[in-house]
Structure formats: C-alpha cells, structure tokens
Structure 1
Amino acid sequence: MEKARLYPMKKVDIIVSGERLPFVRDLLARVRVTGYTIVPNVSGMGHSGFYEGNLIFNETSSLVLLMTVVREEQVELILEGLTPLFERYSGIMYVSDVGVSRQDHFVHRATDSDPS
C-alpha cells in the first residue's frame, strides 16, 4: 500500500454576479479546469457594504461563489481572463495554497469531443 500524501495545488475562489457566471465558466473551460463547485445566492460584507443574497427575481440577480482547485500555472491564466470582467463589473478572486489527496482528479483528459 502506497503512503498517503498531499499534492500542492491552488484553490481559486471567484465571486461574481450570477449574470457573469457563463463568462467565468467559459474561461475555466478554455484554461482546461477539470471541475468546480458553484454556490449560489451568496451574502456578505465587502468593499461596497453588506450584500444580502436573495432569489426574488432569479439566480442571475444574486452573487455566486465559484470554487476550483488548479495547478499553479493555471492561476495566472484565470486572472488574465478575469481582469477585463473585473475592470467593468464587480467581482473578486482569491487564491490560496491547498493540498489534494487525489491529484489525478485535477488532470485534464482528452474526450471524444476534445481532440487534444
């Protein structure tokens, strides 16, 4: 049995309005991110004051938190892709060091629709 170990990676948290989520998802696909988690209806306190999430109108009118774990070289690509969005709209990206136990889950695999 192989000794358990953790592999160093980067956790990226992105908070944007729900209407900007398709842009972020497309960017992550282009950067070849293998997975992410989306938390809708986010509330919190920030630069603009308190924001209370609600779904009165629809999911695109609330804030969403998108969390992913990536290789270090992908972080800069994500930041470059998000910079134009952050220059025009509100949003933020946090990056932190993490260790993952199943590194193979974070490697892009070619599929029938992906010729690479």
Structure 2
Amino acid sequence: MTDAIPTYKKKRLDVIVEAPILNRLLDLLDRLGVTGYTVVPALAGRGREGSWSRAGLVSDAGQMVLVIVVLDESRIPAVLAPVYKLLQRQIGIVTISDVEVVRKEHF
C-alpha cells in the first residue's frame, strides 16, 4: 500500500480566444501577476455560430487558442474582471472550474 499524495484545491480559468488577441491577453495576465499559464492551439470546435476549423486558414485571423491558468481561489475576482473587460467585445469563452494540484507552491 502506498501513501496518498496530498492535493490542494485551486481554480482553473480557461480562456478561448482568437489568436490575434492572444498577446494582449498574455500581457494582461502578466500585469496581473499571474505566475503561470499554458497556451494550446484549438484545432476545431462548434459554437453558437456553428462548426469551425483551423484547416485552410493561412493567417492567425479566425484561429482560436486556449489559455489555461490555475490560480488560488482568492485571486479569481482580481483576474476575472480585467480579463472579462478585455474580452467583452471579442469572440471568446471563459470558464472557471475546480481543480486539485499536487504542488501548491507552483500556484
């Protein structure tokens, strides 16, 4: 029998945006003191406007990316409000979910 690895509750903020606004979003996260994030290309999806795909796109316009941020719950209001303000006139989706991490010092 092995010892259980302790976990720590955090919040995950996922932001899906068009690639051309990515640098503005990352600059904002840096200014807000977010200590880490991961950017993942979104290859295809389906939303209110129907299906979309990166296939055939020759520029960043229309391409979507997913930015994943893991934060302490106490930081969510201070980060979410400015992120929402940046994205309120852009195409994008923001979700918040509960996660558990094994290395709390990273967040």
TM range (shorter): 0.7 to 0.9
When the two structures are superposed, what TM-score results if normalisation uses the length of structure 1?
A: 0.79
Equivalence for 1:97: 98
| Secondary structure, aligned partner of 1:88 | coil
TM superposition shift of 1:22: 0.9
Contact 2:45 2:51 in 1 (8 A): yes
SS in 2 for 1:33: coil
- Counterpart position of 2:30: 29
Cα RMSD (Å):
1.9
Q: Compared with structure 1, are the counterparts of its residues 77 and 55 closer, same or farther at alpha carbon in structure 2 (3 Å cutoff)?
A: farther
| Number of the residue aligned with 1:9 | 10
Question: What is the alpha-carbon distance in structure 2 between the residues aligned to residue 54 and residue 101 of structure 1?
Answer: 37
Q: How many equivalent residue pairs?
A: 105
Gaps of 5+ in 1: 107-116
Residues 6 and 101, structure 1, Cα contact 8 Å, conserved in 2: yes
- Structure with the bigger RCO (C-alpha within 8 Å, sep 6+) is 2
Q: Which runs of 5 or more structure 2 residues have no equivalent in the other structure?
A: none
Matches within 5 A, 1:59-78: 59-78=60-79
1:8–1:100 contact (8 Å) kept in structure 2: yes
Higher strand share: 2
TM-score (structure 2 length as normaliser): 0.85
Matched-pair identity in %: 34
CA distance in 2 between counterparts of 1:54 and 1:82 reads: 28
